[in-house]
Amino acid sequence: MSEFKIGQREAENVSILELKGYLDAHTAPKLEEAFQGLLKSQRYRIVVNCRDLSYISSAGLGVFMAFIEDVRNNKGDIKLTNMSPKVYNVFDLLGFPLLYEIFKEEKEAVTRFFDRTK
């Protein structure tokens, strides 16, 4: 049984990562690999859908911190969506909503990329 999975798809030239399960120090390297893959193929518009994310620890939060600068330097962004209250509370406790745009629905986050380019 795998405790953490990542699904990846494209929507309107935006890369969507779908996180499922438990994101901790053990599984964080998987998310790191996914971001590295996106950056390697120069995909900087990234939406992370957290609908099925059950848990996050600081090791998981650290991954977002590790890539945001690179992504923004390339005129992209990492936007987060569909968080459960439990996961949102951890982001909130550390003040992450000041640094990341967090949306209720994935569609809003995708649309936001196009608002900016207009």
Partner 1 sequence: MKTSSIKVESRTERLIAVRDFVSEAARTFGFGDEDISKIALAVDEACTNIIKHAYRSDPTKTIQVNVSAENGTFVVAIRDEGARFNPMQVQPPDMKEYLSHFRRGGLGVYLMKSLMDKVEYSIVPGNANEVRLMKNLPR
| Binder of partner 1 out of 26, 104, 107, 116 (CB under 8 A) | 26
Judging by beta carbons within 10 Å of its beta carbon (0-12, 13-18, 19+), is residue 25 exposed, middle or buried?
A: exposed
Rounded least distance, CB 11 to partner 1, Å: 26
Position 88 contacts partner 1 (CB under 8 A): no
**Could you give the CA distance from residue 37 to residue 18 in angstroms, rounded to a whole number?**
15
Position 59 contacts partner 1 (CB under 8 A): yes
Kindly report the number of other CB atoms within 10 A of residue 44's CB atom. 20
Position 99 contacts partner 1 (CB under 8 A): yes
Residue among 98 and 117 whose Cβ is closer to partner 1 = 98
Position 66 contacts partner 1 (CB under 8 A): yes
Whole-number Cα distances in Å, 65 to 46, 62, 91: 14, 5, 12
Chain positions 37 to 56 lying near partner 1, rule: CB under 8 A, are 55
Position 61 contacts partner 1 (CB under 8 A): yes
Strands 77-81 vs 45-56: parallel, antiparallel or unpaired: parallel
Q: Which residues are near partner 1 by CB under 8 A?
A: 3, 22, 24-26, 55, 57-59, 61-62, 65-66, 68-69, 86, 89-90, 93-96, 98-99
